[in-house]
Chains A and B, each alone.
Chain A
Amino acid sequence: MVLVLAIGDLHIPHRAPDLPAKFKSMLVPGKIQHIICTGNLCIKEVHDYLKSLCPSLHITRGEYDEDSRYPETKTITIGQFKLGLCHGHQVVPWGDLDSLAMLQRQLDVDILVSGHTHQFKAYKHEAGVVINPGSATGAYSSITYDVNPSFVLMDIDGLRVVVYVYELIDGEVKVDKIDFKKTSTATV
């Protein structure tokens, strides 16, 4: 039972001052085993904050990140799953599911986590699953102003993943979940 937090596109301090208070109260250290971050934090303080939640932090570079040392893409293996991470501004058209599927095949991962569109999405295709955690601060994106803060928590348990989607809608935290399984050797 591994808890993985997928979060990104915070745009602190340029577009948002901080995470919503309700999200912050839920994100306490000690519960999460890994954090994968799509990028656009943008400053070191946010990096340190995330690091305090969990020492195992994986980040890829977003176009506004001030730390240029983050990689463009990253692959991580957690339990039985291979996760791929990429900010998403590199994949054109932005948010296009087929292009993201191409990237997923390139990285050869079961789950691709990418952001940039600031909209939550969970999409399944033959090569795997694409998850977009959205923007955790609700910052405006290049595409739209109307953004609900959201992030994703994945519970990886053997061959099964339960994806919990946390969204802040009208000031209330709404949680949904998505279940999927991986067949033993092939991707879902």
Chain B
Amino acid sequence: MVKKKKQVPDWLNSPIWSSSSPTLTSPQYKSRSPSPPRYDDRIATNNPSKSSSVTSSDSSVTFIRPEPSLQTEIVRDNDSSSASVVEDVSRQSQLLQELSKKIINLGELRQLASLGIPDAAGIRSVTWKLLLGYLPVDKRNWSSELSKKRSQYKHFKEDLLMHPSEITRKLEDSASLKNGDQISIGKGLLARSKIPHGEHPLSLGKTSIWNQYFQDSEIITQIDRDVIRTHPDIQFFSGDSAFAKANQDALRNILIIFAKLNPGIRYVQGMNEILAPLFYVFKNDPNEDYAVNAEADTFFCFVELLSDFRDYFCQQLDNSIVGIRSTISRLSQLLKQHDEELWRHLEITTKVNPQFYAFRWITLLLTQEFNFTDILHIWDMLLSNPVGPRETLLRVCCAMLILVRKRLLAGDFTANLKLLQSYPPTNISHLLYVANKLNSHSTR
């Protein structure tokens, strides 16, 4: 007996959503090709009139269009493409307006940002910095905050990235003048001097800088390996150009400094993936000053972002209430709440344990599931939603499951697992819209 899909609204199940498999080429949305004809002409008319910088915001607007018989909460009338262009431009200008105020209203900014941030004019870079609390809301304090933080980062670099040789040299140069004497000797036995604090390269002492250096070098090798493997398809990160190398070095420095400052979690594979979009956005800021200091800014924002998620990287916390296991079961609960049939089919009938797919989704903040531009849009929502990134992430994951429910319900263990582990390309704005809808239905 077919169970009535009570909890899933009909519009969600309409064939419009599930049959479309838009081929998203980064970074444009121009190649969308959803099947129902009514969308084609809208897309066709929309595309030529779009400038690339507003397509992203456009997509989040134009796709909120269910069949006419359904809910009317979708307000915007988009029969004329010009109306939607106006929409996007207006949203961009709203954002710009908000950002240009002397004291920025974070709530207002969150509201605007959660609809999607346009790619233009470094808006995303500034917005993310505000949302992560790196930039204060009072614009007058920006320059002092920034210079303070940047010099702090510079000190970190100097202190933590030095070899032991350099450290000992610095200590000596400040301590004695023996070197000067030696140079002038033409011939003779070289004078032996005492070593400070028993510091020598083969020292096995716990406090020895050499010993720590060798222990850290394992982590540094790991970081090196991961940095090289980050986003191999994107020119920014990989390749032989000096630019890519410089970016990789920046990523490497940030991760090393983070690992040294946080002996509790050090470096765990995957942190590089979370770092990458942040650095990309900040480095590509058209504002010269920001782009040059992207490394320092990214470091602090990375720390901020990771503070929400660091519990997932700590193995001891796996089984605790804040750990990854309990979060995954929370996702499971959320799915059950919103779509019991799917939940039952996935967990009980086909026995697809959510750990198999959700682990990567959650710990890496979905960076491995979608292409790069989509990741940026998802992160817009993750960072701006007032309930916080952890909760929003769960909702997006739940939305991901609901969107492919037709295929999941039809599939068995292997098919479902395969589908979820390589999630098919999908319309991001729709995904985010569905995730947002889950907000309001969460009391059900």
Contact = CB atoms under 8 A, between A and B. Distances in A.
Contacts of B168: 162
A157 B182 contact: no
Size band of the A side of the interface?
Answer: 20 to 34
Size band of the B side of the interface?
Answer: 20 to 34
A181 B201 contact: no
A155 B195 contact: no
Nearest to B210: A31
A175 B169 contact: no
Given A122-B190, A124-B188, A179 B195 contact: no
Nearest to B194: A176
Interface in A134-171: 153, 155, 157, 160, 162-166
A157 B166 CA distance: 8
B186 interface: yes
Given A30-B214, A123-B189, A164-B195, A180 B182 contact: yes
Contact of A27 (B164, B191, B198, B202): B202
A3 interface: yes
Contact of A177 (B185, B188, B195): B195
Given A124-B187, A125-B187, A165-B192, A31 B202 contact: yes
Contacts, number: 79
A179 B165 contact: no
Contacts of B172: 179
A121 B198 contact: no
A124 B184 CA distance: 11
B186 A176 contact: no
Which of A165, A179, A181 lies at the interface centre, i.e. has the most chain B CB atoms within 10 A of its CB?
A179
A160 B169 contact: yes
B50 interface: no
Contacts of B165: 1, 155, 157, 162
A25 B185 contact: no
Contact of B200 (A1, A122, A164, A180): A164
A181 B183 contact: yes
Contacts of B188: 123-124
A1 B163 contact: yes
A165 B214 CA distance: 20
Contact of B190 (A124, A126, A164): A124
A179 B180 CA distance: 11
Contacts of B178: 179
Contacts of B200: 153, 164, 166, 175, 177
B440 interface: no
A166 B99 CA distance: 63
A178 B189 CA distance: 11
B65 to A, nearest CB: 62
Given A155-B165, A157-B166, A175-B195, A180 B190 contact: yes
Nearest to B202: A26
A123 B214 CA distance: 31
Interface string B199-217: 0111110000000001000
Contacts of B191: 178
B187 A126 contact: yes
B193 interface: yes
Given A1-B165, A162-B165, A177-B192, A155 B186 contact: no
10 contacts: A28-B202, A122-B190, A124-B190, A153-B201, A164-B195, A176-B195, A177-B192, A177-B195, A178-B193, A181-B183
Interface of B: 163-166, 168-169, 172, 178-179, 182-183, 185-195, 198, 200-204, 214
